[in-house]
Amino acid sequence: MRIDHRADQPVRSGIPEHGRVPRYYAVKIELLELVEELGEGAALPAELGLAERFGCRG
């Protein structure tokens, strides 16, 4: 299932009824916002930097 979401839209679509936002979904939204902020053609930070930014280091 693909959920289309734009960074400027509310994040209600895709959130379970209990209201807790899964971490993967929160990271998706943050990534979409980062891509929009950086602009077309800009390089994303390295994987390690993204993991630190989103608190996903394991």
Counting Cα atoms < 13 Å in the Cβ hemisphere of 54 gives 22
Segment (H or E) for 11: none
User: What is the number of other CB atoms lying within 10 angstroms of the CB of residue 7?
Assistant: 14
1-58 tens-digit pLDDT: 344 556 566 555 556 666 677 888 888 888 889 999 998 899 999 999 988 888 876 5
CB 32 within 8 A of CB 7: yes
pTM: 0.59
Structure tokens at 33: 């916002």
